[in-house]
A = this chain, B = another copy of it.
Amino acid sequence: MKIPYKIYLSEDEMPKQWFNLRAQMKELPEPFVNPATGEYCTKEELLPVFCEELVDQELNVTDTYIDIPQEIQNYYRMYRPSPLVRAYNLEKELDTPAEIYFKYEGTNTSGSHKLNSAVAQAYYAKKQGLTCLTTETGAGQWGTALSMACAYFGLDLSVYMVKVSAEQKPHRRAVMETYGAKVIASPSNTTQAGRKILAETPDTNGSLGCAISEAIEVAVTSENCKYVLGSVLNHVGIHQSVIGMETKLACDKYGIKPDIIIGCAGGGSNLLGLIAPFMADKINGKNEIEFTAVEPASCPSLTRGKYALDFGDTGKTTPLIRMYTLGSGFMPSPNHAGGLRYHGMSPIISKLYHDGYINAKSYAQKEVFDAAVAFTRVEGILPAPESSHAIKAAMDEALACKASGQKKTIVFGLTGTGYFDMTAYMNYNAGNMTDHIPTDEELQVGFDSLPKID
């Protein structure tokens, strides 16, 4: 069958259920640990922070399929299905026998896949009768996505935005404000957590871990308000599985059999969502797909981190999560553009990596932007820096195919657009792109912040 440039499912074909990969795993990730007691967290312990239905999803390790509520399906129809694109021009440019496909999540105004979970989380919050949400955002996609969802469902939203991003991306901030969100550069004076960090390190650029501490503090001390997170957590991965469900339906419809699936990985939600149904088949012996997580060399949680119990935030207020981590005290260099700067990694992705189901590799920033520009000139999509990590890995795989003569089928996740990352592109265009790959000594500072419980 001739493969179109872009495969769109019809609305009837769109997934009506999310995929909960844990229900198919041979060994489960360790549950969250209460740092005060050393015991596994109960549902009751999570309820003060999160919406009830999200806690249920977070703890659900038995149901493979979870129904997508109709109202969420309706919102999805405004911007989904996203296309599975055959990168004919990139194949030609690379002169490779490989077939390259990408699942493109950048066609919505949030500019990324983040909207898939934002809509779900705002919906459940509304359903529970909440009036207010808080969150953090790094590069800004998550904050934008949640702003859109909260405007739609009529919820107040406070976004703690990592300070360096807020300064580098005033326009990203303006998008959130256009949707009615309140955006606060983090660390801020509005929380105890923020004031403490500012007192210790007044010149800090901020970090996701710190912004999380602030957002949680505001949620638990406000009326009718909960905290929501855009990555890492299990329920976020469930919502993002709509990416993988669509991809698998499109592949099955056109007889596309991926040999390699590649995704960039910061907190891991995009990668987890993209691979979920394919990984279940691999676990069950139905395919031999190679899965690759790609991360920045400047924030290498999988490739150089430790598999350990760690806090999710800098303020050490969250439960402990067993994950690949650089330590909640790790601060990525400010010359790292875009997202993928979280110190940890989805516990599911971490477990799969630990058990050998996933490979990981890292790239420096300059080579990632080289790939981004080569890609955009032939495929016409200006990618986000985050997504460009996956582009670089896919191009390397395609070039390996050219060298070996193998005709592999490569699928990667193109998570979003770079329209709000032009400062980074300007640096690149001017030849001023720098990177900082942490030394072992610098990593040790982060590892020293790990809790001693382990």
Contacts and interface: CB of A to CB of B under 8 A. Distances in A.
Interface of A: 4-6, 8, 10-11, 74-75, 77-79, 85, 88-89, 107-109, 111, 115, 148, 151-152, 170-171, 174-175, 177-180, 373, 376-382, 417, 419-420, 422-423, 425-426, 428-429
A178 B380 contact: no
B382 A178 contact: yes
Given A78-B89, A109-B376, A152-B377, A382 B419 contact: no
B179 A377 contact: yes
Contacts of A428: 178
Nearest to A9: B8
Given A8-B8, A10-B4, A178-B429, A152 B109 contact: no
B373 A178 contact: yes
Copies per assembly:
2
Nearest to A109: B382
Contacts of A382: 109, 175, 178
Interface of A is mostly: helix
B77 A5 contact: yes
28 contacts: A4-B10, A4-B11, A5-B74, A5-B77, A5-B78, A6-B77, A78-B85, A79-B380, A108-B380, A108-B381, A109-B381, A111-B419, A151-B377, A152-B378, A170-B422, A171-B419, A171-B423, A174-B426, A175-B382, A175-B419, A175-B425, A177-B426, A178-B373, A178-B382, A178-B425, A178-B429, A180-B377, A419-B420
Contacts of A115: 380
A178 B422 CA distance: 9
Contacts of A179: 376-377
Contacts of A373: 178
A335 to B, nearest CB: 17
Contact of A177 (B88, B170, B174, B429): B429
A4 B381 CA distance: 26
Nearest to A147: B377
The 9 lowest CB-CB distance pairs between A and B, nearest first, are A171-B422, A5-B77, A151-B377, A174-B422, A419-B419, A109-B382, A4-B11, A174-B426, A107-B107
Nearest to A87: B78
Given A77-B6, A89-B78, A422-B171, A178 B376 contact: yes
Contacts of A378: 152
Nearest to A177: B429
A387 to B, nearest CB: 13
A171 B420 CA distance: 8
Contacts of A170: 422, 426
B425 A174 contact: yes
A377 to B, nearest CB: 4
A177 B420 CA distance: 15
B180 A78 contact: no
A11 to B, nearest CB: 5
A441 to B, nearest CB: 36
Nearest to A381: B109
B380 A148 contact: yes
A328 to B, nearest CB: 33
B11 A109 contact: no
A379 B178 contact: no
Nearest to A145: B380
A140 to B, nearest CB: 12
A380 B148 CA distance: 7
A104 to B, nearest CB: 10
A177 B425 CA distance: 9
B107 A379 contact: no
A109 B425 CA distance: 14
Contacts of A74: 5, 88
Nearest to A110: B380
